[in-house]
Amino acid sequence: MDEGPSGWGIPLYERVLAGVAPGVALLDVGCGTGAFARLAADRGVRVVGLDTDRSAVAAAAERVPEGEFRVGDAHDLGWPDAAFDVVAAVQVLAHVTNPLKVLREAARVVGRGGTVVVTVWGREQECDVRAFGEALAGFLPPRSARRAPAGGPPLTEPDRLRKLAGLAGLEVAAVDEVSCAFRYPDDDALLGPLLASDIGRAAVHRAGPSAVRKAARDGLARYREPDGGYRLDNLFRCLTARVP
Ligand SMILES: C[S@@+](CC[C@H](N)C(=O)[O-])C[C@H]1O[C@@H](n2cnc3c(N)ncnc32)[C@H](O)[C@@H]1O
């Protein structure tokens, strides 16, 4: 569920929280294991988290004992209108079946004057993590056979994100770019999660672990740092919007 190595999201979370004052009631939609919720609570924000994944909700509750967490679906939030000051959806929209419905629900539960903050990945060419797929491409079926095109441009396109927010009745205040470095201290830290990912397991199934490790090491060599670690820079976008 975590999209990168431990701590990668701090600059993004900081951006989401930039305009959020202590004491504000914030719903963390798709809270996962509570990494963002932890930082928000540390800033004095009153956090409520929701996720479809029961084990993630349990982990978030343990990580943020002062918060409140429940299992639920972002498409149909159980709270009444205007129950929160802010809704944050951090790296969630790409995972839901109907992002527009999720944004409409977010707008409803903050109500007039409320704030909705959403983050998404940047375009593929803006993110060094594309090198993972490129390094293993020789072991995988052609891309066109792997991923059926979804309808319309992806949410990584800022214009699509703005349009979706508008359709949900939100007034966009800003779409900011935030760079987050994925840092891996050594080969094992880099290759372990990669080989365990969907594309990594498919590649290992075809070619065996040592060929895949070698291809990944070679493919990612340009991101290696003098200390033997790796640094991949990725762009994210953070949309801040208000309910007029
Ligand atoms: C990439 S993770 C992001 C987790 C967390 N926001 C973070 O930044 O670490 C996406 C999360 O969205 C959750 N999710 C996916 N569909 C959802 C839905 N319909 N309602 C609520 N949560 C959902 C997943 O279970 C997962 O925890």
Question: Can you list the residues of the chain whose pLDDT is less than 70?
Answer: 1-2, 144-152
The reply to whether ligand 1 has any atom less than 6 angstroms from the CB of 93 is: no
d(CA 191, CA 220): 10
pLDDT of residue 152: 65
- Verdict on whether the full-model pTM lies above 0.85: yes
Which pLDDT score, from 0 to 100, does residue 142 have? 78
Alpha helices in 5-46 (DSSP H): 10-16, 35-42
pLDDT per residue over 144-166, tens digit each?
655 544 566 789 999 999 999 99
Q: Is the CB of 73 under 6 A from ligand 1?
A: yes
**Among 135, 157, 196, which residue's Cα sits nearest to residue 5?**
196
**CATH homologous superfamily for 10-126+149-184+232-242?**
Vaccinia Virus protein VP39 (3.40.50.150)
- 43 vs 64: CA distance, rounded Å: 12
- CB of residue 40 inside a 6 A radius of ligand 1: no
Residue 141: the pLDDT is 82
What local confidence, expressed as pLDDT, does residue 13 receive? 98
CA of 138 to the centre of ligand 1 (A): 31
Query: Residue 240: which of 119, 91, 156 has the closest Cα?
Result: 119
Compute φ and ψ for 33, nearest 5 degrees.
-85, 10
Alpha helices in 43-186 (DSSP H): 54-63, 99-110, 130-136, 143-146, 158-167
Q: Is 99 in the pocket of ligand 1 (CB under 6 A)?
A: no
**104 within ligand 1 shell (Cβ under 6 A):** no
Strand 86-90 with 25-29, pairing = parallel
Give the integer Cα–Cα distance in Å for 72 and 57.
10
CA-35 nearest atom, ligand 1: 9
Task: Write down the pLDDT at residue 147.
Answer: 54
Residues 44, 183, 122, 214: is their CA dihedral positive or negative?
negative
Residue-level pLDDT at 87: 98
pLDDT recorded at residue 212: 94
Residue type at 144? S
Contact between 38 and 64 under an 8 Å Cβ cutoff? The reply is: yes
Q: Which of 3, 95, 155, 180 to mutate to test the pocket of ligand 1 (most atoms within 8 A of CB)?
A: 95
- Segments making up each domain of the chain, as ranges: 10-126+149-184+232-242
pLDDT at 96: 96
Decide: 107 and 81 in contact? Cβ < 8 Å: no
Q: Which of 28, 38, 51, 93 to mutate to test the pocket of ligand 1 (most atoms within 8 A of CB)?
A: 51
Separation CA 237–CA 155 (nearest Å): 10
